[in-house]
Amino acid sequence: MANEIPIRGESIRLGQLLKLAGIIDSGSEVKALLAVQPALVNGQSEDRRGRQLHVGDTVVIGEHELYITGIVS
- At 39 the pLDDT is 94
Residue 38: what pLDDT? 87
**Mean pLDDT in runs of 10 for the chain (73 residues)?**
89 95 90 92 95 97 95 65
What confidence score (pLDDT) does residue 73 get? 56
Q: Which of 6, 21, 16, 15 is nearest to 33 (CA)?
A: 15
pTM (global) more than 0.95: no
Spatial separation of the C-alpha atoms in residues 73 and 59, rounded to whole Å: 24
Answer whether 16's CB lies under 8 Å from 28's CB: no
CA distances, 32 to each of 19, 22, 27, 44 (Å): 13, 16, 10, 19
Q: Which CATH entry fits the domain spanning 3-70: 3.40.50.300, 2.40.50.140, 3.10.20.10, 3.10.290.10?
A: 3.10.290.10
pLDDT of residue 72: 58
